[in-house]
Amino acid sequence: MKTEHRFAAPANREQVWDLMLDMPRVGKCFPGVKEVEADGDQSYKGTMQVRVGPVSLNITGTMVVTGMDKDLWQATMRVEGADRRLGGGVTGDMIVNLVDLSDSETEVVVISDISFMGKLGELGQPIIRKKADSILREFADNISRQF
């Protein structure tokens, strides 16, 4: 499932870039993320609690930063996670771009291509898409609060 979300962060591009380098802090801006810790170079592991409709998942997984290009103001990452108990999981690639809006505002563009498996997949794409929208909205609010 491909999604694209955009939001404006209340800081200049340099400040937003610096925040992006701090993965544990960025990770915790996702609603439901419990902990994020470094697991090798540019690799992080963490847990996330997500509820989609009747299904409540505790996802354990890793996120690997696959690219950081400050010239392009672009970071790419790969996430993989699974819930062992219910049998469901996600894998996906994300591209984050920072666009200069003004001295005090930066647009964050998050493009993701995520696959859902198991119980999550059974719920169907329309509802997952709605959930992804609400997660990203909350993420945007939390990011804005970091400045």
Partner 1 sequence: MNTFEFHTPASLDEAYSLLATHGDDANIIAGGTGLVLFMKQRMVQPGHLISLRSIPGLDYIRVEDGTAHIGAMCTMHQIETSPQLREVLPLLGETYRHVASVKIRNMATIGGGLSHGDPNQDPPPSLIALGASVVLSSASGRRTVPMDEFFTDYFETDIRDGEIVTELEVPLPSPKSGGAFIKFLPRTADDYATVSAAAVVTLEDGGKNCREVRIALGSVATTPIRARNVEDALRGRELTPSLLREAADLVQDEVDPLDDFRGSSGYKRQMAQVFARRALEAALAKVPAVPA
- Determine phi and psi for 10, rounding to 5 degrees: -85, 60
Nearer to partner 1, 40 or 54 (CB): 54
Per DSSP, the chain holds a count of helices (H) and strands (E) of 4, 7
Q: Pick from 8, 29, 55, 109: which binds partner 1 (CB under 8 A)?
A: 55
Nearer to partner 1, 110 or 123 (CB): 123
- 74-83 sheet: strands from edge to edge: 2-9, 105-118, 88-102, 74-83, 55-69, 43-52, 33-38
Q: For partner 1, which stretch binds (CB under 8 A), given 16-24, 69-77, 102-110, 130-138?
A: 130-138
Rule CB under 8 A: say whether 52 interacts with partner 1: yes
In the complex, the smallest distance separating the C-beta of residue 106 from partner 1, rounded to whole angstroms, is: 29
Rule CB under 8 A: say whether 126 interacts with partner 1: yes
Residue type, position 97, single letter = N
CA 143 to chain centroid? 11
In the complex, the smallest distance separating the C-beta of residue 24 from partner 1, rounded to whole angstroms, is: 25
Q: Cα torsion for 87, 118, 41, 10, to the nearest 10°?
A: -120
Q: For partner 1, which stretch binds (CB under 8 A), given 37-45, 53-61, 104-112, 135-143?
A: 53-61
Distance of alpha carbon 115 from alpha carbon 120, whole angstroms = 10
Q: Pick from 2, 41, 85, 102: which binds partner 1 (CB under 8 A)?
A: 85
Q: Which residue has the tokens 């992804």?
A: 132
Rule CB under 8 A: say whether 130 interacts with partner 1: yes
In the complex, the smallest distance separating the C-beta of residue 126 from partner 1, rounded to whole angstroms, is: 4
Residues near partner 1 (CB under 8 A): 51-56, 85-87, 119, 122, 124, 126-127, 130-131, 134
